[in-house]
């Protein structure tokens, strides 16, 4: 009930003035703890992209911390009861963008395999977009993309309903690509140009002088040639190879799950299309076919 206050007017009559109810302070969703962690992830991801061309250790460290914080924001959301749709979308967008950027770099580092990385980027974006769209359009705006009916897909049910399974697949998926990124700086088996001696005479036949200074060859420190020289023999490849081989099976399984997610979302949308066409009475019997 709103507060009332009694006061006397000039004629001695009592007049009650009605006080407006106090409004509750509006929650600032953008400053929730899990969302603050999400902003930190974005900053670390941007830092990793900045250092990615020339500083593999710094890049890998920033990128890995950003990925590990992906688990922390979920714990914070549950602990402080601050699970929000904005936070869920921020988390997913950050994951998709950071992974795509890393795969773009790998496509440039291993041009012979660029089509593989392009397919992986497309599969990752397409499967998650289709899944989100199908969930919102078929399941309703209050339906979470992580709430999967087991009758629709037991694989996705297991993947999304168990936080440990979800974290393991995401962790090893990112670990494989980080290890492959480190190998682009260290393994001559994957990057044959790393075998070349940077002090060897130049093979340039045109121009003068015959052996131009590096500053004349690479006018920009961010040129492809300068980056290639900076990458050469930066680090030992033993640990990256171990991480790459150990994480490959789970990474491959993650891609299989992406395919399953894409197929199931497509079928779910098709079910909705059939139901909508049936509701509208399509196709109309006896109607003339359009030319």
Residues designated as active site:
95
Other C-beta atoms closer than 10 Å to the C-beta of 98 total 23
CB 76 within 8 A of CB 82: yes
Distance of CA 52 to the CA centre of its chain: 17
Q: Which string of DSSP letters, residue by residue, matches 175-192?
A: HHHHHHHHHTTT-TTT-G
- Contacts of residue 14, defined as CB under 8 A and 6 or more positions apart, other chains included, come to 6, 7, 8
Identify the bridge partners of residue 17 per DSSP, sorted by sequence position. 5
CA distances from 143 to 73, 133, 167 (A): 20, 11, 21
**Beta-bridge partner residues of 14:** 8
Residue 202 CB partners (closer than 8 Å, separation 6+): 210, 211, 212, 217
Strands 4-8 and 14-18: antiparallel
d(CA 291, CA 288): 9
Q: Which of 29, 27, 35 is nearest to 76 (CA)?
A: 35
């Amino acid at each position: 009930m709103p507060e009332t206050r009694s006061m006397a007017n000039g004629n001695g009559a009592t007049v009650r003035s009605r006080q407006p109810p106090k409004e509750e302070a509006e929650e600032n969703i953008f400053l929730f703890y899990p969302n603050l962690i999400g902003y930190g992830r974005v900053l670390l991801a941007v830092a990793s992209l900045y250092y990615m061309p020339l500083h593999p250790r710094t890049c890998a460290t920033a990128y890995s911390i950003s990925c590990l914080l992906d688990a922390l924001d979920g714990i914070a959301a549950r602990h402080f009861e601050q699970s929000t749709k904005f936070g869920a979308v921020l988390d997913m967008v950050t994951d998709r963008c950071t992974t795509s950027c890393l795969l773009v770099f790998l496509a440039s580092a291993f041009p012979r395999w660029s089509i593989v990385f392009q397919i992986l980027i497309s599969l990752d974006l397409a499967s998650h977009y289709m899944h989100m769209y199908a969930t919102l359009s078929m399941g309703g705006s209050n339906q979470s993309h992580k709430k999967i009916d087991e009758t629709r897909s037991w694989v996705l049910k297991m993947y999304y309903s168990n936080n440990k399974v979800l974290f393991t697949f995401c962790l090893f998926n990112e670990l494989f690509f980080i290890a492959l990124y480190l190998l682009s700086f260290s393994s001559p088996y994957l990057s044959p140009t790393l075998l070349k001696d940077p002090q060897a005479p130049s093979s340039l036949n045109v121009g003068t002088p015959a052996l131009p200074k590096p500053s004349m060859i690479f006018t920009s420190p961010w040129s492809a040639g300068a980056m290639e020289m900076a990458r050469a023999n930066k680090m030992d490849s033993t640990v990256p190879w171990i991480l790459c081989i150990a994480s490959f099976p789970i990474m491959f399984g993650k891609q299989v799950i992406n395919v399953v997610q894409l197929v199931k979302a497509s079928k779910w949308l098709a079910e909705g299309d059939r139901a909508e066409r049936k509701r509208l009475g399509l196709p109309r019997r006896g109607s003339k076919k359009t030319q």
